[in-house]
Amino acid sequence: MAGFLNRAVPVALLLLAGAPMAWAQAPASEEARAIEFGKEIFKTKARCQFCHKWDGTGDQGYGGNALSLRKTQLSREQLTEVVKCGRLSTEMPYHDKFGYTDKRCFGVTREQAGADMPPEANQYLQASEIAAVTQYVFARIVGKGETTYAECVDFWGKDTQQCEPLKP
């Protein structure tokens, strides 16, 4: 307890004095790391860009007709559920290994879903990976307008031929 007070009092004094706090920058750094982690899961493990395209515009992808993540009206909670559980009666795969072993996904089991069962993902995701993908999608894709050259370079990590048509 004494150790806590020794740290808390100087912090409180700095806050009262209006001094800038070095630790105030930590959440931004943590958030940036989480977004980058989500981008890597989006690209490599979940391979979302194969259907939704790298920029989230959707339309015809390798996996079929995918919705635009840029124009989605889903909330964070709803998007998290879709990544976790897929979409019944569609080609959107589920990424939760145990999603349909109990009723955690849409209140149904594999047997109850029957022919409406979504496909299994190529790789399952941990809860933290699902959360990171959702965080990435909301930070970098949802609600964005036209795709930009800077977004392309950010996604691919370098100037690639993929980005050429977007060059200013």
Q: Convert the pLDDT of each residue in 151-164 to its tens digit.
A: 999 999 887 888 99
CA distance 125 to 93: 11
Question: In the chain, what percentage of residues exceed pLDDT 70?
Answer: 82
Mean pLDDT, range 139-157, rounded to an integer: 94
The domain tally of the chain equals 1
Question: Where does the pLDDT of residue 19 fall: very low under 50, low under 70, confident under 90, or very high at 90 and above?
Answer: very low
Q: Is the pLDDT of residue 137 over 90?
A: yes
pLDDT the model gives residue 48: 94
Residue 91 domain-assigned (yes or no) = yes
Full residue range of the structural domain in which residue 78 is found: 27-166
134 within 8 A of 38, measured Cβ to Cβ:
yes
CATH number for the domain harbouring residue 151: 1.10.760
Choice among 18-32, 47-61, 76-90, 119-133 with the minimum mean pLDDT: 18-32
90 within 8 A of 67, measured Cβ to Cβ:
no
Residue 4 domain-assigned (yes or no) = no
CA distance 151 to 45: 20
- Return left, alpha or beta for 143; rule: phi > 0 is left, psi -120 to 50 is alpha, else beta: left
Residue 106 domain-assigned (yes or no) = yes
CA distance 122 to 167: 33
Burial class (CB in 10 A: 0-12, 13-18, 19+), 152: buried
Structure tokens at 36: 């980058």
Tell me which residue of 70, 69, 46, 50 sits closest to 60, measured CA to CA: 50
Q: Is the pLDDT of residue 20 over 60?
A: no
Residue 17 domain-assigned (yes or no) = no
pLDDT: which is higher, 21 or 110: 110
Choice among 6-10, 33-37, 84-88, 112-116 with the minimum mean pLDDT: 6-10
Structure tokens at 78: 């709803």
Residue 114 domain-assigned (yes or no) = yes
Residue 18 domain-assigned (yes or no) = no
Mean pLDDT, range 114-125, rounded to an integer: 96
Structure tokens at 12: 């409180």
Q: Average model confidence (pLDDT) for the chain?
A: 85
Residue 34 domain-assigned (yes or no) = yes
Question: In the chain, what percentage of residues exceed pLDDT 90?
Answer: 71
Question: Where does the pLDDT of residue 18 fall: very low under 50, low under 70, confident under 90, or very high at 90 and above?
Answer: very low
Residue 13 domain-assigned (yes or no) = no
- Say whether pTM exceeds 0.85: no
